[in-house]
Amino acid sequence: MNAMAEEEARSEHVVRTGDRMAHVVIVYLVAVLLALPLFIILYPFVPQLVLPIGEGVRVDHLITFGAVLLAFIVLVRKFQVVVYGTLIAGMVALTITSLIGRYGFGDLYKDYAGWLATLREAAVNAPLAAKKLAPFHDAEKLKALVADPNGTVRKGAVRMATANFTEVKAGPTEFTLIQALSIFKEINSRWHYVSDVKGGEYFATPAESIDLMAGDCDDHALLMAACIKAIGGEVRLVRTEGHVYPELLIGDEKQLERAGYLIRKELFSKEVGDAPLYHHTDADGQHWINLDYTRPYPGGELMNERIVGILEI
């Protein structure tokens, strides 16, 4: 009799353990499904956190996802009756629509995956981070340097504009954009950073830089701006508290969406991967993407410095 009671107790314990495990699995699965979209939305705004191990190990993505997941686990556990009720109702509805051939579990998976991809591929509108921009130092001098009276920069710009992406199908208004991004690829793949003389400031002419493919941030920005202007693009220089970088005018929302597709799928698919594309929006609603030498693709993550001036050239 005791043996039978012990066996029943063990069986009941196994069942209870199985129920608890199933409950935990459901809680974590639902929390993960809810956490993924929010993580994708929040992550581009999270500051980088790099541990000094080897060449540096980024952990900000792990910390961010862990925090979001933990929050949803707590919420799911607290409101499990509502969550489970919603899940059961959804499962019943999906089963019915699947049986009648209208919408099944496979369709749900495709829609969810597509939604995540849409969130991941969205361009991030970065704030200018300064309510009032200061005057751009040496503005007139920089504008004069971008001018190309002898056509030296134009020749190099044309060569670089036609060095890449010539097989990409482009609309009638997209040739300049694609050629500007070809120039970006050529310059950034060959550019080497060299500091100015200690305690001084030297602005290399674009004609000088196109030959050397080396210099500091303002030399790079001037060269990029001069080359893109030489083929009909519109560029501006952005000054932060310790840096200068060029931005390319993309246009309105529709043009930004198209540019994002081209950069992500056609032109820089290997370089971009799953990373978001960053842009600034001006007072007229026009979008600009950064062409900094610190990133291997247009629209790369912006340096974490406050913007203090913008110079349209």
Do 72 and 179 fall into the same domain? no
Q: Domain for residue 71, yes or no?
A: yes
Encode pLDDT of 240-269 as tens digits. Answer: 888 899 999 999 988 998 999 899 889 998
| Amino acid type, 39 | F
Residue where a domain stops, chosen among 90, 124, 158: 124
Give the residue-averaged pLDDT of 181-201: 92
Do 177 and 109 fall into the same domain? no
Would the pLDDT of 1 be above 80?
no
Read off the tokens for 68. Answer: 């979001």
Do 100 and 30 fall into the same domain? yes
Strands 235-240 and 244-251: antiparallel
Are 276 and 260 a contacting pair, CB within 8 Å? Answer: no
Provide the CATH number for the domain around residue 172.
3.10.620
Do 163 and 296 fall into the same domain? yes
Q: How far apart are CA 77 and CA 27, in angstroms?
A: 7
pLDDT number for residue 274: 77
Which stretch of 41-45, 158-162, 210-214 has the lowest confidence by average pLDDT? 41-45
Q: Say which residue, 237 or 30, is predicted with more confidence.
A: 237
Give the residue-averaged pLDDT of 12-18: 62
Q: Domain for residue 165, yes or no?
A: yes
Do 70 and 110 fall into the same domain? yes
Would the pLDDT of 270 be above 80?
yes
Residue 132: pLDDT band (50, 70, 90) is low
Residue where a domain stops, chosen among 98, 124, 150: 124
What is the domain extent for residue 54? Answer: 2-124
Q: Domain for residue 251, yes or no?
A: yes
Would the pLDDT of 219 be above 60?
yes
Read off the tokens for 97. Answer: 């629509």
Are 243 and 185 a contacting pair, CB within 8 Å? Answer: no
Do 110 and 151 fall into the same domain? no
Encode pLDDT of 48-81 as tens digits. Answer: 676 777 655 667 778 888 888 898 888 888 887 8
Q: What percent of the chain has pLDDT over 70?
A: 81
Would the pLDDT of 28 be above 90?
no
Residue 206: pLDDT band (50, 70, 90) is very high
Which stretch of 18-22, 162-166, 266-270 has the lowest confidence by average pLDDT? 18-22
Q: Say which residue, 312 or 2, is predicted with more confidence.
A: 312
Cβ-proximal residues to 114 (8 Å cutoff; 6+ apart), any chain: none
Q: Say which residue, 125 or 271, is predicted with more confidence.
A: 271
Q: Domain for residue 110, yes or no?
A: yes
Are 309 and 134 a contacting pair, CB within 8 Å? Answer: yes
Q: Domain for residue 217, yes or no?
A: yes
Q: CA 282 → CA 20, 126, 260, 311, distances in Å? A: 54, 11, 18, 12
Encode pLDDT of 103-121 as tens digits. Answer: 777 777 776 665 555 555 5
Residue 40: pLDDT band (50, 70, 90) is low
Output the 3-class SS for the chain.
Answer: CHHHHHHHHHHHHHHHHHHHHHHHHHHHHHHHHHHHHHHHHHHHHCCCCEECCCCCEECHHHHHHHHHHHHHHHHHHHCHHHHHHHHHHHHHHHHHHHHCCCCCHHHHHHHHHHHHHHHHHCEEECCCCCCCCCCCCCHHHHHHHHCCCCCHHHHHHHHHHCCCCCCCCCCCCCHHHHHHHHHHHHHHHHCEECCCCCCCCCCCCHHHHHHHCEECHHHHHHHHHHHHHHCCCCEEEEEECCCEEEEEEEECHHHHHHHHHHHHHHHCHHHHCCCCEEEEECCCCCEEEECCCCCCCCCCCCCCCCEEEEEEC
Encode pLDDT of 75-101 as tens digits. Answer: 888 887 887 788 788 888 878 888 887
pLDDT number for residue 53: 74
Q: How far apart are CA 146 and CA 101, in angstroms?
A: 63
Q: CA 241 → CA 181, 192, 245, distances in Å? A: 26, 22, 12
Q: How far apart are CA 168 and CA 212, in angstroms?
A: 29
Q: Say which residue, 155 or 313, is predicted with more confidence.
A: 155
Give the residue-averaged pLDDT of 156-184: 93
Give the residue-averaged pLDDT of 196-217: 91
For the packed helices 80-99 and 2-42, what is the interaxial angle rounded to 10 degrees?
80
The position carrying tokens 């043009």 is 255
Do 160 and 257 fall into the same domain? yes
Q: How many domains does the chain have?
A: 2
What is the reported pTM? 0.63
Q: Domain for residue 134, yes or no?
A: no
Q: Domain for residue 50, yes or no?
A: yes
Do 143 and 44 fall into the same domain? no
Q: Domain for residue 131, yes or no?
A: no
pLDDT number for residue 121: 53
Do 196 and 293 fall into the same domain? yes
pLDDT number for residue 124: 63
Do 147 and 76 fall into the same domain? no
pLDDT number for residue 217: 92
pLDDT number for residue 187: 97
pLDDT number for residue 14: 56
Residue where a domain stops, chosen among 124, 153, 172: 124
Do 174 and 93 fall into the same domain? no
Do 183 and 45 fall into the same domain? no
CA 66 to chain centre: 21
